Every structure is written in structure tokens, then in C-alpha cells.
A and B are shown apart, each in its own frame.
Chain A
């Protein structure tokens, strides 16, 4: 038998004698282009280039990790992960994992209180503008925030935030949270990541009557909020004060008659250079805010007017827009495909099939996007 194997091996080498044997290589992630985005899925964030439709790599995380936070200037990516020592049982350990952004491998971790919150929300994690502190949302169901110093790789502390959720980073080492009483909360940290100042806005929406979505979009100096009934709010800060624009509706009376509403898992994307808001829309009654979108509407924020609309061929659950000068509209369908469109002409460019296992939302790679 051994002789036979030897003979076969010799024959095999002889047959391939003319070809130089290959070795297995290992790619590194290139510097992300402006059209890159990721798809957050069950246990992974998968990177794609919308220009080519090609997949670029994967960041593998614990099941139900809400989102990853890229920090490409430091060549790092962060994710709050939660594990049990025996799979679905045993001792629970939560960590903020630091991934090397070139090799997409975990290179370090910081222990967190075992309170991190599962399920996919982009704004359950946020790198603050000092590029040192990362905020992670907790729910036990008491709500709080864990702060990690990613430069010194230290847990900086926990901040109790009863009644408020989500992390919307703003200037001066601060972040805004949306609260169940219809207000916003601004928390500013000191250089050690300890709470230095807390400010609360007045209540400006009624959660029972017309709640703002728990999905937001970043502007040049703040965040856009959109209500279930189509009201837009622009939130900015001035010092430690929260500033709210006068709300206005993306819906005309005719739109309302036709029962158009925003809805889906990821309902909007904002192109900062042109000031155009892309909103996923469907026809439906109240409490249909998860209904997949039938159309995307383009809203000129300066003129407060719809400037375009396009019907999707298949139900679409999440949208995002790239921040290139000529933006691309990304649309995640119920079939787990990402449809890429020219964001201005609304012309279909390509389909990225099988964009992840149970893909949830799309994220471009700019800060807080």
C-alpha cells in the first residue's frame, strides 16, 4: 500500500513538473475607497465595494453583535461582543474587541460589564470625536453606557442613562441619546472618559402618538431624526446645549391621502455634500413602520421638498447612500441582495447577491456613518 502511494505521488509530481507550485497567499484589506460599505449580519460585517460589487473582507463577531465601529485612521475596527463559556450557557463575558483593519483579525480586547445589548443597531456603539473613547450601549433592561479608552485599552467606566438609548456622537467628546419621554440627552465626557456634563432637551415628540425612528442619519454638524408620520428634525449642539430645528413633513397632503409612510429596518441615508435625504417609503396604516419599502424618495433638505422618487422592483428593507460626490444608493432587499443605483439618476448599476447571512443594515465607512 505504501509503495502504491509513493508511486502515485511520484507520478503526480512528474505530471506537474512544468508548473511552478503555488503557495497559499493571504490578502490584506486595502485602504477603503469612498464607495465601500459593509453589510451587518448575524455574526459578521461583510465589506463590499459598491463600485465593483466585489466583496473585500469580513469582520467576524459574536452572534447578534449590534454593529461594528471602524476607525481607519488608527487602522482599527471595534465591536462589542458577548460570549458564553459553553456556547449558549456557562459564564458570560462581554468585551470590546479591537480588530486590525488590515488583517481583519482580533488583536486585543477590553473587558466590559456583561450588559451589552444584542440585536442590530448601528447606534449602539459610537467612537467619539477624540478618537480615543468608544461608547457602548447596555440594557439589562436598565439602560447605561460603557466607555472604553481604545488608545490605552482600558475600561473607563459606566454611565447610567435611564430612559434613554442609542449613541449619536457629536462635537466635544459628547454624544446625544434619544429618550422615551420624547426628549434628547447630551452627555459630555472629560478627557478620562468620565461624565462631565449632562443636558436634557425639552420633550419635542410624543412617543405614543408619533415616535421618531430609532434609526438616524448624520449631517455635517448633527443628526437627522424622522418620525413615523414623516416629520424631520435636525439636531445639532452648541456647547452643551441641544439645538432642534423646526420640524417639517416630507409628506404632502396628497402623500398622506395615499397613505405613504417611511418604514423598514433602515429607513434613510443622507448625502451630506448635496443635502439630499433618501427615505424608504411604503403605503400602509399606522404601526407599519417595519414594512419593507416600495419606493425611495429623495428629499432636498434645503428646499424641504421631494426632488425624486423611484419604485423598487422587490420589497426593500434597508437603504444607505455613499458619500462620494456622485453618490450611490444602496438597497438591501428581502432576498439578501444589495441593489446598487446611481444616487442621482436612480439608474440601476449592479446587483450584489448573497450579501450576508440574515443581513440587517448597510453602513458606509466614514466616521459615524
Chain B
């Protein structure tokens, strides 16, 4: 088999893999989405103010439904990247060897179980090669790059040992107030 064919086949395979997560996402595109397809450098994406991650909210009592390996999972409404839950991590923890970025972007997602809005911190996990599994590219309230706190086209591996992007988690910070 020629080298070209090998590359083409690899691409098609990656495309199939990354496009599988949701039919809706099959048409969607973003700069970060292509990172997910290839497997190399960075990650993350969208909504609200740029905040250091604060795990002030005790989520033990949170009732959830859905599959954390699916882009349709309620926490991922503003996530753009690849899902750590498909890469050896969970929806809220990085895979082995990947370092969580201390800086994140924040989304507001509605939990279908209690029909309440929650603040979600999307942290990129960094320092391992990009996990090309479960690409997820939601753009709810995403804004351009000159507005970084809501910009999907920013790689959020800031303040980490390496800027290499691996995957993204969605951590529940707490209930969203009306003001948010």
C-alpha cells in the first residue's frame, strides 16, 4: 500500500472516530476540533468569565443522568475539545500523567435531572499527546478570540508544565445564580 493511501486511510479512520460522538457534530467545525482529529498539541473552549478553578461546590449530592462519554452529556454544553472520560480519565479528572490546567473557561449548563442551571468549569488536561477520541464541539455562547473568557478558539493549557493538549474535563462548580 502506498504511503498516500496509508495516510488517507488513517485520516478517514480518525474522521470516523471523531465524528461518531454525535450526528449533530458531524458537520460542525472549530479550530480545536481539528486538534482532536489529529492528536498533538492543545485544547478546551467556551462560555463565561475567565476564572481560576475553584472546587468550592460539593457535588456529592448532585444527581445526574446521561453518558459522560457522550458529547450530549449535560455538563458538556459549552465544551470544545476531546472528552477525558474517553481517554482514561473521567468527566472531572484528567487521565494518568495529564496535568489539569489551573485556568479554565466557564459554562452554564442545565441539569436535566433537577432542571437547574450549574456553573461548569472546563479545564484542559495537558502534557500528554492529544487524545483523538470523543471529539466534542459545542459552541453555546461561544465568542471570538478577542474575548478569551468565552472563546472556543483558545488553547487553555496555561500555567501547566507543558502546553500540549490532551483532553478536557467538565467540573461542576455550583448552582448558577440568576445573575450569571
Contacts and interface: CB of A to CB of B under 8 A. Distances in A.
Contact of B139 (A117, A265, A290, A336): A290
A89 interface: yes
Contact of B155 (A119, A177, A180, A264): A119
A82 B164 CA distance: 11
B133 interface: no
A331 B140 CA distance: 26
Interface stretch (B64-72, B82-90, B108-116, B144-152): B144-152
Nearest to A66: B31
A179 B37 CA distance: 31
B34 A214 contact: no
Given A88-B127, A139-B154, A317 B42 contact: no
A336 B34 CA distance: 12
A292 B29 contact: yes
B42 A118 contact: yes
A71 interface: no
Contact of A141 (B140, B143, B154, B162): B154
A291 interface: yes
B27 interface: yes
Contact of B162 (A89, A289, A354): A89
Given A42-B40, A177-B146, A287-B140, A88 B29 contact: no
A214 B29 contact: no
B27 A88 contact: no
A214 B146 contact: yes
Interface stretch (A3-11, A205-213, A242-250, A295-303): A205-213
Nearest to B158: A141
Contacts of B155: 64, 117-119
Interface in A276-314: 287-292
Contact of A88 (B7, B32, B129, B153): B129
Contacts, number: 114
A180 B145 CA distance: 9
Interface in B35-50: 35, 37-38, 40-42, 50
A356 to B, nearest CB: 11
Given A164-B146, A214-B144, A358 B29 contact: no
A178 interface: yes
A289 B106 CA distance: 19
Contacts of B30: 265, 290
Interface residues of B, number: 43
A264 to B, nearest CB: 7
B148 to A, nearest CB: 6
Contact of A289 (B4, B139, B146): B139
Interface string A50-88: 000000000000011000000000000000001010001
B136 to A, nearest CB: 13
Contact of A120 (B31, B147, B163): B31
Interface string A106-139: 0000000000011111000000000000000001
Interface residues of A, number: 47
Contacts of A164: 146
Given A63-B41, A265-B31, A88 B128 contact: yes
A338 interface: no
A213 B144 CA distance: 6
Contact of A42 (B7, B38, B103, B163): B38
A140 B29 contact: no
A236 interface: no
A71 to B, nearest CB: 24
Contacts of B164: 84, 88-89
Interface in A133-162: 139-141, 143
Contact of A214 (B38, B42, B137, B153): B153
Contacts of A117: 155
A147 B75 CA distance: 41
A29 interface: no
Contacts of B143: 207-208, 211
B16 interface: no
Interface string B98-120: 00000100000000000000000
B55 interface: no
Interface of A: 42, 63-64, 82, 84, 88-89, 92, 117-121, 139-141, 143, 163-166, 177-180, 207-208, 211-214, 264-265, 287-292, 315, 317, 334, 336, 354, 357-358, 360
Given A82-B163, A165-B146, A165-B148, 5 more contacts: A92-B163, A119-B42, A141-B158, A166-B146, A292-B29
17 contacts: A63-B41, A64-B35, A119-B31, A139-B148, A141-B50, A163-B146, A165-B148, A166-B145, A166-B146, A211-B147, A214-B146, A214-B153, A265-B31, A287-B142, A317-B29, A357-B11, A357-B38
